[in-house]
Amino acid sequence: MTLKDQIDTNKVPRHVAVIMDGNGRWAKKRGLFRTKGHENGAKAVKQVVEACGEIKIPYLTLYAFSTENWNRPKIEVELLMTLLISSLKKELKNLQKNDIRLMAIGNINELPNKVLKELLEVIDKTKNNKQLTLTLALSYGSRQEIIKTIQEISLKVKNNLISPENIDDSLINNHLYTQNLPDVDLLIRTSGEQRVSNFLLWQIAYAEMYFTETLWPDFNKEDLFEAVLNYQNRERRFGKTSEQLN
Ligand code: FPP
């Protein structure tokens, strides 16, 4: 039986988030420039998006560029931006064909104009697609997102639009970049690192963590299916006891 056949399609995680790590090491191992790692990383993105479509995962969020990534060498940042534009241009047709909606989270106004324009165009053109919501975290940092949320809520309190007692989970959710997304069920990080690196800190409160040694450019459909199977074999208790769940 294939890995995919073993997956219980009624119990797939609703929201999978991925920290795509190891592009640089993948390239270095082959004596290639780091940028080659990112180019092959884009191929892995395609694999994972297709795999999510096949097993009907409705939300996939990818950490494509962190606020800290702006500090990388200029040439690498430029390549990543160029890669983003070319992937967006190239994949629009596939997104439409497969009913995939593109969204972005992060301080996207910091992106170069050319990238932002292409991104907003694809977001707009795919806004009615329903099968899968693919969210790219771009110029994203979770603490920065939480600070922005606190600032917006404080301003509302100051202007007497809400009182402090009104601040609850759902109010905070409604101010995060991820306001239209459900909580993360499964967080995957590749390349053997076991860190969260300022990604979706609020949203992963109850997420299952899956770490794999596989470097991101090598990550394929089978790897995604394996992560989902691993997730399905865990018991999620949300603070309750096993007996309460049964
Ligand atoms: C981490 O590997 C990866 C990134 C910082 C960029 C992720 C980008 C892509 C996968 C390609 C483009 C994405 C899309 C959506 C088209 P690293 O460079 O930190 O690797 P290292 O830790 O081995 O150096």
pLDDT tens-digit map of 140-166: 999 999 999 999 999 999 999 999 999
Within a domain: residue 31? yes
pLDDT recorded at residue 237: 82
Average of per-residue pLDDT across 110-119: 98
Ligand 1 atom closest to Cα of residue 217: 10
pLDDT recorded at residue 236: 76
pLDDT recorded at residue 201: 98
Within a domain: residue 197? yes
Which residue from 18, 19, 21, 90 has its CB within 8 A of the most atoms of ligand 1, so it is best to mutate?
21
The alpha carbon of 97 and the centre of ligand 1 are apart by a number of angstroms equal to 26
Within a domain: residue 242? no
Is the C-beta atom of 38 inside 6 A of ligand 1? yes
Within a domain: residue 111? yes
- Burial classification of residue 8, based on how many CB atoms lie within 10 Å of its CB (0-12 exposed, 13-18 middle, 19 or more buried): exposed
Is the C-beta atom of 36 inside 6 A of ligand 1? no
Average of per-residue pLDDT across 190-209: 97
Average of per-residue pLDDT across 25-54: 97
Within a domain: residue 243? no
| Side chain identity at residue 109, one-letter code | N
Within a domain: residue 217? yes
Is the C-beta atom of 25 inside 6 A of ligand 1? yes
Which of the residues are catalytic? 21, 69
Q: Is the dihedral of CA 43, 41, 227, 13 positive or negative?
A: negative
Within a domain: residue 36? yes
pLDDT recorded at residue 242: 85
pLDDT band at residue 37 using 50, 70 and 90 as cut-offs: very high
pLDDT recorded at residue 235: 80
How many domains in the chain? 1
Ligand 1 atom closest to Cα of residue 34: 18
- Counts of helices then strands in the chain (DSSP H, E): 9, 6
pLDDT recorded at residue 188: 98
Within a domain: residue 147? no
H-helix segments, the chain? 3-6, 23-29, 34-54, 74-97, 113-125, 142-158, 169-173, 221-232, 242-245
What CATH number does the domain containing 72 carry?
3.40.1180.10
Average of per-residue pLDDT across 36-50: 98
Ligand 1 atom closest to Cα of residue 215: 23
Q: Is the pLDDT of residue 85 over 90?
A: yes
Q: Is the pLDDT of residue 246 over 80?
A: no
Q: 42 lies in which domain range?
A: 3-142+184-233
* More confidently predicted of 126 and 236: 126
